[in-house]
Amino acid sequence: MEADRLNSPSTSVITFEVLGHQLQFSQDPNSKHLGTTVWDTSMVFAKFLEKNCRKGRFCPSKLKGKRVIELGAGCGVAGFGMALLGCDVVSTDQIEVVPLLRRNVERNTSWIMQMNSNADSFGSIKVAELDWGNEDHIKAVAPPFDYIIGTDVVYAEHLVEPLLQTIIALSGPKTTIMLGHEIRSTSVHEQMLQTWKNFFDVKIVPKAKMDSKYQHPSIQLFIMGLKPPVVTAENAISTEKPENVARGIDEVEVEPSKTDQDKEHDHGSNSLVDDLPSTRLPDGKLSEWEARRYGSMAARLLREVKIT
């Protein structure tokens, strides 16, 4: 397992090259919080943008000035992908994560502005506290947004509903939602997907559209739009399924979400690791730090990423 990892317990800075920029993200190996680590899906997401930014909806001319909010941003990698393509990004997380997130945002923004001749295409990125479901936090960021993004934000079942309610509260009729997810638990994945399908038109990005190195069978990217009629925060928890009306979210060719049979084929139980909190190393000992990273199967594909 060691050799498969992107991070090590002593890793405090990840250097990540994306869209022609050499970014550096500080981590806090001593923190107990999940948000103080760069998670693999965030890099898969940023590299997906890089691969698809020459034409179509992700080219800088289309994205310039678009308002983006990143939920559960952690170290802020995915938001930087959007900001580098010209978007004005609000990168959000829980209060405990905000200081490190702010440090990463300030450091990389100043690096981009100082060192790169093509800084013109950079939009902006700012940091805000946003605890999912907190109405004051939601109001303070001034919704609706053009894009709502998040990577690796659903790792336990209890997160599905507050995240859904927050996404709905931040959305308008034209909002596009882009989420990345690494499958670690079939039950969390199933609940998440069923909830998304009830409220959104869900498209899964095919692997061929992802960067050839920054992808993994366990990592999925979703591009979604709210199904009209617009669902409000008040009725978001209703189990009733809204009317299914297709929306125009197809500029990047994406796959419709799959049948259960397809999913079985793509993500058979052998390809999944267990739910993060219950994961154990063979000798049964697992430090806090190890527990947080053990699920990152995708790290084996990302091991060439330079770590300083």
Residue 232's identity, in one-letter code, is T
**Is residue 152 at the binding interface for ligand SAM, with CB under 6 A as the rule?**
yes
> Could you say whether residue 164 binds ligand SAM (CB under 6 A)?
no
Distance CA 278, CA 64 (A): 43
Going by the DSSP 8-state scheme, the letter that residue 232 receives in this structure is: P
Q: Output the smallest distance, CB 93 to ligand SAM, in A.
A: 5
* DSSP string computed for 184-240: S-HHHHHHHHHHHHHHEEEEEPPGGGS-SSS--TTEEEEEEEEPSSPPPGGGTT--S
Q: Is 162 in the site for ligand SAM (CB under 6 A)?
A: yes
- Nearer Cβ to ligand SAM (63/73): 73
Question: Which residue among 7, 19, 23, 42 contacts ligand SAM (CB under 6 A)?
Answer: 42
Nearer to ligand SAM, 131 or 146 (CB): 131
Let me know: does 132 contact 154? Beta carbons within 8 Å. no
DSSP, res 216: -
Give 77 or 299: the residue with its C-beta nearer to ligand SAM: 77
Q: Please, what is the angle between helix 186-199 and helix 160-170, to 10°?
A: 30
Member of 60, 74, 86, 225 binding ligand SAM (CB under 6 A)? 74
For residue 300, give the amino acid letter: R
> 101: how many CB neighbours lie within 10 A of its CB?
26
**214 scored as a contact of ligand SAM (CB under 6 A):** no
User: Which two structure tokens, joined as six digits, stand for 82?
Assistant: 């959007």
Scan for tokens 């502005």, then name that residue: 113
CB atoms within 10 A of CB 139: 10
CB nearer to ligand SAM: give 162 or 217: 162
Q: Which residue in the set 7, 27, 41, 121 belongs to the binding site for ligand SAM (CB under 6 A)?
A: 41
Nearer to ligand SAM, 39 or 201 (CB): 39
Q: Which two tokens stand for residue 150?
A: 């998040």
The least distance separating ligand SAM from the CB of residue 220, rounded to whole angstroms, comes to 13
User: What's the closest the beta carbon of residue 166 comes to ligand SAM, in angstroms?
Assistant: 8
Contact pattern for ligand SAM over residues 218 through 257, marking x by CB under 6 A: ----------------------------------------
Q: Is 294 in the site for ligand SAM (CB under 6 A)?
A: no
Minimum distance, C-beta of residue 125 to ligand SAM, in the bound complex (Å): 14
3-state secondary structure labels for all residues of 249-286:
CCCCCCEECCCHHHHHHHCCHHHCCCCHHHCCCCCCCC
Count of residues interacting with ligand SAM (CB under 6 A): 23
Residues 89-118 that bind ligand SAM (CB under 6 A): 93-94, 97
Site for ligand SAM in 120-149 (CB under 6 A): 130-132
Task: Cite the beta strand spans of the chain per DSSP E.
Answer: 13-18, 21-26, 67-70, 88-93, 124-129, 147-151, 176-182, 200-204, 219-226, 255-256
Interacting residues toward ligand SAM by CB under 6 A: 34-35, 38-39, 41-42, 72-75, 77, 93-94, 97, 130-132, 151-153, 155, 159, 162
